[in-house]
Protein backbone atom coordinates (compact mmCIF):
# COMPACT_ATOMS: atom_id res chain seq x y z
CA UNK A 1 0.00 0.00 0.00
CA UNK A 2 2.82 2.37 0.96
CA UNK A 3 4.52 1.62 -2.35
CA UNK A 4 1.32 2.39 -4.26
CA UNK A 5 0.90 5.67 -2.39
CA UNK A 6 4.53 6.61 -3.02
CA UNK A 7 4.18 5.83 -6.71
CA UNK A 8 0.96 7.85 -6.86
CA UNK A 9 2.61 10.81 -5.09
CA UNK A 10 5.56 10.69 -7.46
CA UNK A 11 3.25 10.57 -10.47
CA UNK A 12 1.30 13.58 -9.19
CA UNK A 13 4.54 15.44 -8.48
CA UNK A 14 5.81 14.64 -11.98
CA UNK A 15 2.62 15.86 -13.63
CA UNK A 16 2.54 18.96 -11.47
CA UNK A 17 6.16 19.81 -12.36
CA UNK A 18 5.25 19.77 -16.04
CA UNK A 19 2.29 22.10 -15.76
CA UNK A 20 2.26 25.59 -17.19
CA UNK A 21 0.96 27.77 -14.37
CA UNK A 22 1.70 30.88 -12.30
CA UNK A 23 5.44 31.02 -11.65
CA UNK A 24 6.41 28.93 -14.70
CA UNK A 25 9.20 30.56 -16.74
CA UNK A 26 8.04 31.64 -20.18
CA UNK A 27 10.77 29.62 -21.91
CA UNK A 28 9.06 26.41 -20.73
CA UNK A 29 6.47 27.04 -23.40
CA UNK A 30 9.20 26.38 -25.93
CA UNK A 31 9.16 22.74 -24.84
CA UNK A 32 6.23 22.46 -27.22
CA UNK A 33 6.39 22.78 -30.97
CA UNK A 34 4.64 25.56 -32.86
CA UNK A 35 4.30 26.26 -36.55
CA UNK A 36 2.95 29.18 -38.50
CA UNK A 37 0.06 28.30 -40.86
CA UNK A 38 2.67 28.38 -43.63
CA UNK A 39 4.61 25.59 -41.86
CA UNK A 40 7.48 27.57 -40.38
CA UNK A 41 8.73 26.48 -36.96
CA UNK A 42 8.12 29.21 -34.40
CA UNK A 43 9.53 30.04 -30.97
CA UNK A 44 7.94 32.00 -28.16
CA UNK A 45 9.61 35.45 -28.14
CA UNK A 46 11.62 36.22 -25.02
CA UNK A 47 9.94 39.58 -24.42
CA UNK A 48 6.36 38.29 -24.59
CA UNK A 49 3.94 39.83 -22.08
CA UNK A 50 0.73 38.03 -22.98
CA UNK A 51 0.12 34.54 -24.36
CA UNK A 52 -3.36 34.02 -25.77
CA UNK A 53 -4.40 30.38 -26.12
CA UNK A 54 -7.49 29.01 -27.84
CA UNK A 55 -8.28 25.30 -27.77
CA UNK A 56 -11.61 25.23 -29.56
CA UNK A 57 -12.86 26.21 -32.99
CA UNK A 58 -15.19 28.93 -31.74
CA UNK A 59 -12.71 30.59 -29.37
CA UNK A 60 -10.04 30.44 -32.07
CA UNK A 61 -12.44 32.05 -34.51
CA UNK A 62 -13.20 34.83 -32.04
CA UNK A 63 -9.50 35.64 -31.63
CA UNK A 64 -8.78 35.46 -35.36
CA UNK A 65 -11.73 37.63 -36.29
CA UNK A 66 -10.73 40.23 -33.72
CA UNK A 67 -7.08 40.25 -34.86
CA UNK A 68 -8.16 40.51 -38.49
CA UNK A 69 -9.56 43.96 -37.69
CA UNK A 70 -6.19 45.17 -36.42
CA UNK A 71 -2.84 46.10 -37.93
CA UNK A 72 -0.83 42.98 -38.85
CA UNK A 73 1.83 43.90 -36.25
CA UNK A 74 -0.76 44.57 -33.53
CA UNK A 75 0.24 41.49 -31.52
CA UNK A 76 3.97 42.07 -31.90
CA UNK A 77 3.73 45.72 -30.91
CA UNK A 78 1.79 44.73 -27.80
CA UNK A 79 4.25 41.90 -27.02
CA UNK A 80 1.55 39.29 -27.37
CA UNK A 81 1.30 35.97 -29.18
CA UNK A 82 -1.65 33.81 -30.13
CA UNK A 83 -1.46 30.02 -29.86
CA UNK A 84 -4.19 27.97 -31.49
CA UNK A 85 -4.15 24.41 -30.20
CA UNK A 86 -5.66 22.42 -33.04
CA UNK A 87 -4.64 18.93 -32.01
CA UNK A 88 -8.24 17.77 -31.88
CA UNK A 89 -8.86 18.73 -35.48
CA UNK A 90 -8.58 15.75 -37.85
CA UNK A 91 -5.44 16.02 -39.96
CA UNK A 92 -7.39 15.91 -43.21
CA UNK A 93 -9.65 18.79 -42.13
CA UNK A 94 -6.60 20.79 -41.01
CA UNK A 95 -4.84 20.35 -44.34
CA UNK A 96 -7.81 20.65 -46.64
CA UNK A 97 -9.80 23.42 -44.99
CA UNK A 98 -8.29 25.02 -41.87
CA UNK A 99 -4.75 25.77 -43.06
CA UNK A 100 -5.75 27.46 -46.34
CA UNK A 101 -8.09 29.69 -44.33
CA UNK A 102 -5.55 30.44 -41.59
CA UNK A 103 -2.87 31.20 -44.19
CA UNK A 104 -4.97 34.11 -45.41
CA UNK A 105 -4.84 35.94 -42.08
CA UNK A 106 -2.28 38.74 -41.95
CA UNK A 107 -1.59 38.31 -38.24
CA UNK A 108 0.69 35.62 -36.84
CA UNK A 109 -0.77 32.42 -35.42
CA UNK A 110 1.23 29.82 -33.52
CA UNK A 111 -0.36 26.49 -34.37
CA UNK A 112 0.14 23.59 -32.00
CA UNK A 113 -0.63 20.07 -33.15
CA UNK A 114 0.39 18.00 -30.09
CA UNK A 115 -1.86 16.49 -27.46
CA UNK A 116 0.14 17.24 -24.33
CA UNK A 117 -0.02 21.03 -24.48
CA UNK A 118 -3.73 21.13 -23.63
CA UNK A 119 -3.12 18.75 -20.72
CA UNK A 120 -0.51 20.95 -19.05
CA UNK A 121 -1.90 24.40 -19.75
CA UNK A 122 -4.90 25.84 -17.88
CA UNK A 123 -8.14 25.85 -19.84
CA UNK A 124 -11.87 26.26 -19.43
CA UNK A 125 -14.58 25.17 -21.80
CA UNK A 126 -15.58 27.84 -24.35
CA UNK A 127 -13.06 30.31 -22.93
CA UNK A 128 -9.78 31.76 -24.11
CA UNK A 129 -6.81 31.30 -21.78
CA UNK A 130 -4.56 34.28 -21.12
CA UNK A 131 -1.10 33.79 -19.64
CA UNK A 132 0.14 37.13 -18.33
CA UNK A 133 3.93 37.30 -18.23
CA UNK A 134 6.09 39.58 -16.10
CA UNK A 135 9.88 39.39 -16.05
CA UNK A 136 9.91 36.16 -18.03
CA UNK A 137 7.54 34.29 -15.72
CA UNK A 138 3.82 33.62 -15.82
CA UNK A 139 2.39 36.06 -13.29
CA UNK A 140 -1.32 35.44 -13.73
CA UNK A 141 -3.71 33.16 -15.60
CA UNK A 142 -7.11 34.45 -16.65
CA UNK A 143 -9.95 33.35 -18.89
CA UNK A 144 -12.01 35.49 -21.24
CA UNK A 145 -14.76 34.98 -23.75
CA UNK A 146 -15.29 38.29 -25.57
CA UNK A 147 -13.38 40.41 -28.06
CA UNK A 148 -13.67 43.40 -25.73
CA UNK A 149 -11.88 41.54 -22.93
CA UNK A 150 -9.27 40.36 -25.41
CA UNK A 151 -8.53 43.88 -26.59
CA UNK A 152 -8.36 45.21 -23.01
CA UNK A 153 -5.85 42.56 -22.02
CA UNK A 154 -3.68 42.95 -25.11
CA UNK A 155 -3.55 46.72 -24.79
CA UNK A 156 -3.13 46.75 -21.01
CA UNK B 1 -15.31 -2.06 -59.60
CA UNK B 2 -17.60 0.33 -61.40
CA UNK B 3 -16.56 3.86 -62.33
CA UNK B 4 -18.36 5.51 -59.40
CA UNK B 5 -16.70 3.23 -56.82
CA UNK B 6 -13.33 3.77 -58.48
CA UNK B 7 -13.83 7.55 -58.37
CA UNK B 8 -14.84 7.48 -54.66
CA UNK B 9 -11.85 5.28 -53.72
CA UNK B 10 -9.51 7.53 -55.71
CA UNK B 11 -10.90 10.70 -54.11
CA UNK B 12 -10.61 9.28 -50.57
CA UNK B 13 -7.06 8.07 -51.27
CA UNK B 14 -6.03 11.48 -52.54
CA UNK B 15 -7.62 13.19 -49.54
CA UNK B 16 -5.85 10.83 -47.14
CA UNK B 17 -2.53 11.33 -48.89
CA UNK B 18 -2.99 15.05 -48.70
CA UNK B 19 -3.96 14.85 -45.03
CA UNK B 20 -0.86 12.87 -44.17
CA UNK B 21 1.49 15.17 -46.07
CA UNK B 22 3.95 17.16 -44.03
CA UNK B 23 2.77 20.61 -43.04
CA UNK B 24 6.31 21.82 -42.57
CA UNK B 25 7.20 23.95 -45.56
CA UNK B 26 10.21 25.60 -43.94
CA UNK B 27 13.30 25.78 -46.12
CA UNK B 28 16.47 24.49 -44.46
CA UNK B 29 18.86 26.91 -46.11
CA UNK B 30 19.16 29.85 -48.47
CA UNK B 31 19.75 27.71 -51.54
CA UNK B 32 23.00 29.46 -52.55
CA UNK B 33 24.95 26.18 -52.57
CA UNK B 34 23.75 23.05 -54.32
CA UNK B 35 24.80 20.86 -51.42
CA UNK B 36 24.77 21.78 -47.74
CA UNK B 37 25.47 18.31 -46.38
CA UNK B 38 29.18 18.90 -45.91
CA UNK B 39 28.84 22.54 -44.96
CA UNK B 40 27.15 22.84 -41.61
CA UNK B 41 29.29 25.71 -40.36
CA UNK B 42 32.26 27.82 -41.35
CA UNK B 43 34.52 25.84 -43.61
CA UNK B 44 38.26 26.44 -43.67
CA UNK B 45 39.35 27.56 -47.09
CA UNK B 46 41.58 25.29 -49.13
CA UNK B 47 44.97 26.30 -50.48
CA UNK B 48 44.53 29.13 -52.97
CA UNK B 49 48.19 30.19 -53.05
CA UNK B 50 48.61 29.45 -56.77
CA UNK B 51 46.09 32.16 -57.66
CA UNK B 52 47.26 35.72 -58.22
CA UNK B 53 44.13 37.47 -59.45
CA UNK B 54 40.54 37.68 -58.36
CA UNK B 55 37.33 38.86 -59.95
CA UNK B 56 34.39 39.77 -57.74
CA UNK B 57 30.90 39.05 -59.03
CA UNK B 58 27.98 41.12 -57.77
CA UNK B 59 26.64 40.08 -54.38
CA UNK B 60 23.46 38.01 -54.28
CA UNK B 61 20.90 38.82 -51.61
CA UNK B 62 18.46 36.12 -50.58
CA UNK B 63 15.88 38.18 -48.66
CA UNK B 64 13.36 35.32 -48.36
CA UNK B 65 10.67 37.74 -49.45
CA UNK B 66 9.42 37.30 -52.99
CA UNK B 67 9.99 40.29 -55.30
CA UNK B 68 6.32 41.19 -55.58
CA UNK B 69 6.00 41.41 -51.78
CA UNK B 70 9.12 43.51 -51.17
CA UNK B 71 8.41 47.05 -50.04
CA UNK B 72 10.14 50.05 -51.57
CA UNK B 73 12.26 50.53 -48.43
CA UNK B 74 13.25 46.84 -48.42
CA UNK B 75 14.38 47.04 -52.06
CA UNK B 76 16.33 50.16 -51.18
CA UNK B 77 17.93 48.36 -48.21
CA UNK B 78 19.04 45.44 -50.42
CA UNK B 79 20.62 47.85 -52.89
CA UNK B 80 22.41 49.62 -50.04
CA UNK B 81 23.72 46.29 -48.71
CA UNK B 82 24.92 45.32 -52.20
CA UNK B 83 26.73 48.63 -52.68
CA UNK B 84 28.23 48.50 -49.18
CA UNK B 85 29.49 44.92 -49.46
CA UNK B 86 30.77 45.19 -53.04
CA UNK B 87 32.82 48.23 -52.02
CA UNK B 88 34.06 46.44 -48.89
CA UNK B 89 35.11 43.41 -50.99
CA UNK B 90 37.04 45.66 -53.38
CA UNK B 91 38.72 47.52 -50.51
CA UNK B 92 39.66 44.18 -48.98
CA UNK B 93 41.33 42.99 -52.19
CA UNK B 94 43.05 46.33 -52.76
CA UNK B 95 44.82 45.97 -49.43
CA UNK B 96 45.65 42.31 -50.06
CA UNK B 97 49.26 41.49 -50.86
CA UNK B 98 48.39 38.16 -52.47
CA UNK B 99 45.63 38.90 -54.96
CA UNK B 100 45.04 41.58 -57.54
CA UNK B 101 41.56 42.67 -58.45
CA UNK B 102 40.66 42.23 -62.13
CA UNK B 103 37.60 42.77 -64.27
CA UNK B 104 38.57 40.25 -66.94
CA UNK B 105 39.67 36.84 -65.68
CA UNK B 106 42.80 35.18 -67.07
CA UNK B 107 45.00 32.28 -65.89
CA UNK B 108 45.38 31.95 -62.13
CA UNK B 109 42.23 33.95 -61.51
CA UNK B 110 39.64 33.20 -58.90
CA UNK B 111 36.07 34.29 -59.17
CA UNK B 112 34.46 35.26 -55.87
CA UNK B 113 30.73 34.61 -55.73
CA UNK B 114 28.84 35.44 -52.57
CA UNK B 115 25.41 35.77 -51.03
CA UNK B 116 23.94 37.04 -47.79
CA UNK B 117 20.68 36.29 -46.06
CA UNK B 118 19.19 36.40 -42.56
CA UNK B 119 18.82 33.41 -40.27
CA UNK B 120 17.02 32.97 -36.98
CA UNK B 121 19.22 31.46 -34.28
CA UNK B 122 18.46 30.05 -30.84
CA UNK B 123 21.92 29.08 -29.69
CA UNK B 124 20.63 27.62 -26.43
CA UNK B 125 18.36 25.19 -28.27
CA UNK B 126 20.21 22.27 -29.82
CA UNK B 127 17.12 21.08 -31.66
CA UNK B 128 16.72 24.38 -33.53
CA UNK B 129 18.11 24.66 -37.07
CA UNK B 130 20.60 27.49 -36.54
CA UNK B 131 20.50 28.23 -40.26
CA UNK B 132 16.72 28.62 -40.40
CA UNK B 133 16.12 31.32 -43.03
CA UNK B 134 14.09 34.31 -41.94
CA UNK B 135 12.92 37.25 -44.05
CA UNK B 136 15.44 40.05 -44.41
CA UNK B 137 12.78 42.55 -43.53
CA UNK B 138 9.99 42.96 -41.05
CA UNK B 139 6.92 40.82 -41.43
CA UNK B 140 4.71 39.02 -38.93
CA UNK B 141 7.08 36.04 -38.80
CA UNK B 142 10.34 37.93 -38.47
CA UNK B 143 9.31 40.90 -36.31
CA UNK B 144 9.74 39.14 -32.95
CA UNK B 145 13.03 37.51 -33.92
CA UNK B 146 14.56 40.89 -34.81
CA UNK B 147 13.13 42.43 -31.62
CA UNK B 148 14.60 39.60 -29.54
CA UNK B 149 18.00 39.91 -31.28
CA UNK B 150 17.75 36.35 -32.55
CA UNK B 151 18.68 37.19 -36.13
CA UNK B 152 22.14 36.79 -37.63
CA UNK B 153 23.53 37.54 -41.05
CA UNK B 154 24.45 34.40 -42.96
CA UNK B 155 27.29 34.90 -45.41
CA UNK B 156 27.94 32.30 -48.10
CA UNK B 157 30.82 32.36 -50.53
CA UNK B 158 32.50 30.21 -53.12
CA UNK B 159 35.75 30.70 -55.00
CA UNK B 160 35.70 29.37 -58.54
CA UNK B 161 38.69 28.72 -60.80
CA UNK B 162 38.03 31.11 -63.70
CA UNK B 163 39.57 28.78 -66.25
CA UNK B 164 38.15 25.40 -65.28
CA UNK B 165 34.98 26.54 -63.55
CA UNK B 166 35.76 24.24 -60.61
CA UNK B 167 34.78 25.35 -57.13
CA UNK B 168 38.09 25.76 -55.31
CA UNK B 169 36.65 26.59 -51.93
CA UNK B 170 33.39 27.45 -50.26
CA UNK B 171 32.45 28.98 -46.97
CA UNK B 172 29.39 29.67 -44.85
CA UNK B 173 29.52 31.97 -41.81
CA UNK B 174 27.30 33.41 -39.10
CA UNK B 175 28.62 35.44 -36.23
CA UNK B 176 27.27 34.09 -32.94
CA UNK B 177 27.82 37.33 -31.08
CA UNK B 178 26.74 39.93 -33.60
CA UNK B 179 22.97 40.17 -33.94
CA UNK B 180 21.13 42.16 -36.55
CA UNK B 181 19.52 44.59 -34.15
CA UNK B 182 16.37 46.48 -34.94
CA UNK B 183 17.02 50.05 -33.84
CA UNK B 184 13.87 51.74 -35.18
CA UNK B 185 10.60 50.86 -36.85
CA UNK B 186 12.28 49.49 -39.98
CA UNK B 187 15.50 47.64 -40.72
CA UNK B 188 18.25 49.88 -42.03
CA UNK B 189 21.76 49.44 -43.38
CA UNK B 190 23.12 50.54 -39.98
CA UNK B 191 21.36 47.57 -38.35
CA UNK B 192 23.28 45.23 -40.66
CA UNK B 193 26.65 46.99 -40.76
CA UNK B 194 28.30 45.22 -37.77
CA UNK B 195 27.35 41.83 -39.26
CA UNK B 196 28.43 42.82 -42.78
CA UNK B 197 31.80 44.00 -41.45
CA UNK B 198 32.29 40.70 -39.59
CA UNK B 199 31.50 38.79 -42.78
CA UNK B 200 34.06 40.75 -44.82
CA UNK B 201 36.65 40.20 -42.08
CA UNK B 202 35.98 36.47 -42.21
CA UNK B 203 36.47 36.33 -46.00
CA UNK B 204 39.61 38.43 -45.70
CA UNK B 205 41.04 35.99 -43.14
CA UNK B 206 40.45 33.12 -45.55
CA UNK B 207 41.92 34.85 -48.58
CA UNK B 208 45.03 36.02 -46.76
CA UNK B 209 45.93 32.70 -45.16
What is the per-residue pLDDT across A53-63, written as a single tens digit (0 to 9) for each? 999 999 999 99
Q: What does the pLDDT read at residue B1? A: 55
Closest-approach residue (CA) in chain B for A40? B26
Q: Which of B39-43, B84-88, B152-156, B189-193 has the lowest mean pLDDT?
A: B39-43
Name the percent of chain A lying above pLDDT 70: 88
Which of A45, A50, A84, A89 would you mutate first to test chain B, the one with the most B CBs within 10 A?
A45
Position B135 in a domain: yes
Q: Are B178 and B152 in contact (CB under 8 A)?
A: yes
A vs B, Cβ pairs < 8 A, gives 65
- Tell whether B16 is within 8 A of chain A (Cβ): yes
Provide the 3-class DSSP secondary structure of residue B75. helix
- Tell whether B128 is within 8 A of chain A (Cβ): yes
Q: How far apart are CA B1 and CA B10, in angstroms?
A: 12
Band (pLDDT 50/70/90 cuts) for residue B137 is very high
What domains are there in chain A, each with its CATH number?
Answer: 21-154 (3.40.30.10)
Q: What is the mean pLDDT of residues B83-108?
A: 92
Taking contacts as CB-CB distances below 8 angstroms, the residues of chain A near B147 are 45, 47, 76
Position B8 in a domain: no
- The larger pLDDT score, comparing residue A6 to residue A40, is at A40
Q: Which domain CATH number covers B105? A: 3.30.160
Q: How close is the nearest chain A Cα to the Cα of B176, in Å? A: 18
Query: Given a cut of 80, is residue A24 above it in pLDDT?
Result: yes
Position B20 in a domain: no
Q: How far apart are CA A142 and CA A125, in angstroms?
A: 13
Q: Chain B 25-54, CB below 8 Å of chain A: which residues? A: 25-26
Position B105 in a domain: yes
What is each CA distance from B126 to A19, B28, B123, in whole angstroms? 23, 15, 7
Q: For A108-133, how does the pLDDT look when each residue is reduced to its tens digit (9 = 90+)?
A: 999 999 999 999 999 999 999 999 99
Q: Are B78 and B192 in contact (CB under 8 A)?
A: no
Half-sphere exposure of A64 (CA within 13 A, CB side): 21
Interface of A with B (CB under 8 A): 30, 35-36, 38-43, 45-47, 72-73, 76, 81, 90-92, 94-96, 99, 106-108, 113
Position B1 in a domain: no
- Which domain covers residue B154, as residue numbers? 27-207
SS (H, E, C) chain A: CHHHHHHHHHHHHHHHHHCCCCCCEHHHHHHCCEECCCCCEECCCCCCCEEEEECCHHHHHHHHHHHCCCCCCHHHHCCEEEEEECCCCCHHHHHHHHHHHHCCCCCCCEEECCCHHHHHCCCCCCCEEEEEEECCEEEEEEEECCHHHHHHHHCC
Q: What does the pLDDT read at residue A12? A: 44
Q: Is the pTM of this model over 0.80?
A: no
Q: What is the mean pLDDT of residues A38-57?
A: 95
User: CA angle, corner B153, sides to B149 and B155, nearest 5?
Assistant: 165
Query: Given a cut of 90, is residue B7 above it in pLDDT?
Result: no
Q: Which of A5-14, A42-51, A105-114, B139-148 has the lowest mean pLDDT?
A: A5-14
Position B4 in a domain: no
Q: What is the tally of structural domains in chain B? A: 1
Amino acid sequence: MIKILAAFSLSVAFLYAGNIEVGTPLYKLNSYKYESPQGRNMRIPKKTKLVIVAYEKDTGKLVNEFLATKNKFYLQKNRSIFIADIHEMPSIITTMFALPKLQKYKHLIYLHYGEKFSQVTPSKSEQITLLHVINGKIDKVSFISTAKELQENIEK
Amino acid sequence: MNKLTFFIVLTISLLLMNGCASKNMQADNSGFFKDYEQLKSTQTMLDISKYTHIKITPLIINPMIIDSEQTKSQKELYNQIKTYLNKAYKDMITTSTKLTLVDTPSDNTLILESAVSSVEVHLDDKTWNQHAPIPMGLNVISFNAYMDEDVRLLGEMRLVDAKSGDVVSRMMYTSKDIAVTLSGDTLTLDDFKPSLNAWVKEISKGLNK
